[in-house]
Amino acid sequence: MNEIILKGIGAASGVAIGPAFLFGKEEFRISPHKISETSIALEIARFEDALIKTRHEILEIQKRIAEEMGTEHAEIFDAHLLVLEDRTLIEDVIVRIKKEKFCVEYIFSEVLKKYVSVFSRIEDEYLRERVSDINDVGKRILRNLLGEKKNIVVDVDAENLILVANDLAPSETASMYKKNIVAFVTDIGSRTSHTAIMAKSLEIPAVVGVEVATQKIINGDILIVDGKTGTVIINPEKETLDRYETAKLKINVQKERFVNLKELPAETKDNREVLIAANIELPEEIPSVIEHGARGIGLYRTEYFYMNRTDLPSEEEHYQAYRHVAQAVSPHHVVIRTLDLGGDKFLSQLHVPRDMHPFLGWRAIRFCLARPDIFKIQLRAILRASVHGQLKLMYPMISGIEELRQANNLLEECRNELRKEDIRFDDNLEVGAMIEVPSAAITADIIAKEADFFSIGTNDLIQYSLAVDRTNEKIAYLYEPAHPAVLKLIKNIIDAGHKSEIWVGICGEMSGDPELVLVLLGLGLDEFSMPPASVPLIKQLVRSVSYKDAKKIAEYALSLSTGKEVEEYSNQRLQELVPELLGENDASK
């Protein structure tokens, strides 16, 4: 039998090998039994009883998860409780029972199908993510109506299983904690889904959005799951299996070897020190930041505050979260990126229109300047939290000096408000600009005069510079981080920043790629910020080379004509200088 390779979205990095356990869709066969007029009240009562039982179940799960994994993870189930309290859904069921006179199981299953169908077709990210919550809660209600019980993941006895499912509800993912599941694969899902976020916290490899996983995989198939590249291999050939076994061993050895680096600085052989920081999306990622030896947080994304909820976060919510992160990583710094909604992130409660060209539309700083009522809530919270640690503030998608000035004017309004309210804040809070638009990269010398630091967002800078939508698989081959145009823009940003005596960091995907880091180090970057798991590898790389060599490599790379030539040259030099690192960052090699 030939091996089969499936591609999806890498949701949590790492490599896992083991037998597949197909966690199939739960199907309920419900007949449309007619009921009499006198039975309507009884059916409604049964429905209400099932709602109460389901609520108790969810609260019990929430309590157990809070005890085992922390309150942050338990809060995910607040969305499930909201579904149970959805009066529109409840009234829909009751009205249809009275009108159609069918048993409650049938009526509820039909209403559930309608809701799932409607929400699945909606493009809005917040509403689309609710499909999983609705499904999970709906199935629990149906089980309680039918008097059935389901064997959940935690009851599976075999060891080292790779769970394969169409989708996994947060409650199902949570049941993997400290159990026998070593990875999971799903047909649907995104990097921002509840399940993907929990997988990262569980530190098990996960690939979502495979689309055909449950069709191609059967129970007992041997699988390889590469959570970094989003690759799933079914019944691998011996050569492939050996390669991934070796890669997995290297990853484990690498982790053990890098434990000793945790407290050491990222300093080159000739004593140039750079800062290796981490990117985070949620406060609960902080233990991973500390465990992997990052010196602070170079990018704290704040969009998650606005997702998976029906209201807007308050100033106090923002403040408490920022305060917690600042204190947790002290004395190291935390760079908070202000709200970057738009592009591929849309939320219904903000009434953000879906643009024809969303990445070029009303997003990030443009949205914030147009909605100062929302923006100032976040700015005030950041200022308030700034007295509790080394906070820094960064505006996303600045395209020119005017936007920086407008944002700073709003920030000054917030400062004046807090002074009048006698609320303390750090008067010396550093305020930087995220450089990810070509116009900002080209005029970095102007922006640098009024910014305290730069952080280069390479993901967007690359797509804007090369006119390549990074989410479009048909032109993915044109997305070249090492393209000469990209490298020259990065050099211009760094040189402009240093000329104005401000530090320059990078927080895009390039920061975790050893071949590219070798060039970026030589260009003079001061800070690299990346996913926590990438920190030890990049720290080891920096400590294994001299800045003098890195500068020569960068200089030669800038003279090359194509991105492919740059990658090949950098890869060759990396193999010469640090051969033990080559390939360990990519298990598929």
How confident is the chain (589 residues) per 10-residue block, as mean pLDDT? 87 88 69 89 92 87 72 68 83 93 92 81 59 80 77 52 81 61 85 63 82 89 91 95 89 73 92 95 84 94 73 90 95 95 47 44 83 95 97 96 98 98 97 97 98 94 84 66 96 98 93 91 96 87 96 97 95 88 52
CA distances to 12, 15, 157, 219, 244 from 223, rounded to whole Å, are 16, 10, 18, 10, 11
Predicted local distance difference test score (pLDDT) of residue 148: 64
Is residue 400 located within the same domain as residue 381?
Answer: yes
Helix (H) or strand (E) holding 516: helix 514-523
Which amino acid belongs to residue 108? Answer: F
3-class state of residue 147 by DSSP: coil
Is residue 162 located within the same domain as residue 142?
Answer: no
Is residue 248 located within the same domain as residue 159?
Answer: yes
Catalytic residue among 194, 292, 318, 333: 194
Is residue 44 located within the same domain as residue 118?
Answer: yes
The DSSP call for residue 545 is S
Burial environment of residue 394 by CB neighbours within 10 A (0 to 12, 13 to 18, 19 or more): buried
Predicted local distance difference test score (pLDDT) of residue 61: 78
Q: What is the DSSP string of 74-135?
A: HGGGHHHHHHHT-HHHHHHHHHHHHHH-B-HHHHHHHHHHHHHHHHHH---HHHHHHHHHHH
Is residue 498 located within the same domain as residue 544?
Answer: yes
Is residue 456 located within the same domain as residue 520?
Answer: yes
Domain limit, last residue, from 90, 120, 146: 146
Measured distance CA(354)–CA(343) in Å, rounded: 9
Is residue 342 located within the same domain as residue 439?
Answer: yes
Predicted local distance difference test score (pLDDT) of residue 359: 45
Q: Report CA torsion sign: 267, 268, 271, 273.
A: negative
Cβ count within 10 A of residue 206: 31
User: Using an 8 Å Cβ cutoff, are 227 and 14 in contact?
Assistant: yes
Is residue 222 located within the same domain as residue 281?
Answer: no
User: Using an 8 Å Cβ cutoff, are 489 and 438 in contact?
Assistant: yes
Predicted local distance difference test score (pLDDT) of residue 414: 98
CA distances to 69, 324, 347, 363, 470 from 143, rounded to whole Å, are 27, 40, 32, 43, 42
Predicted local distance difference test score (pLDDT) of residue 180: 78
Rg (CA), the chain: 26
395 strand-pairing partners: 433
Measured distance CA(213)–CA(568) in Å, rounded: 34
Is residue 16 located within the same domain as residue 72?
Answer: no
Q: Report CA torsion sign: 583, 586, 587, 589.
A: negative
- CATH number reported for the structural domain that contains residue 535 in this entry: 3.20.20.60
Range of the domain at 96: 37-146
**Residue 190 covered by a domain:** yes
Is residue 323 located within the same domain as residue 412?
Answer: yes
**Residue 508 covered by a domain:** yes
Predicted local distance difference test score (pLDDT) of residue 68: 66
Is residue 97 located within the same domain as residue 20?
Answer: no
Is residue 454 located within the same domain as residue 371?
Answer: yes
**Residue 263 covered by a domain:** no
**Residue 587 covered by a domain:** no
**Residue 205 covered by a domain:** yes
**Residue 32 covered by a domain:** no
Predicted local distance difference test score (pLDDT) of residue 410: 98
Measured distance CA(112)–CA(76) in Å, rounded: 21
Phi, psi of 323 (to 5 degrees): -60, -45
**Residue 264 covered by a domain:** no
Measured distance CA(413)–CA(421) in Å, rounded: 12
Q: Provide the domain count of the chain.
A: 3
Predicted local distance difference test score (pLDDT) of residue 552: 97
103 is known as an active-site residue: no
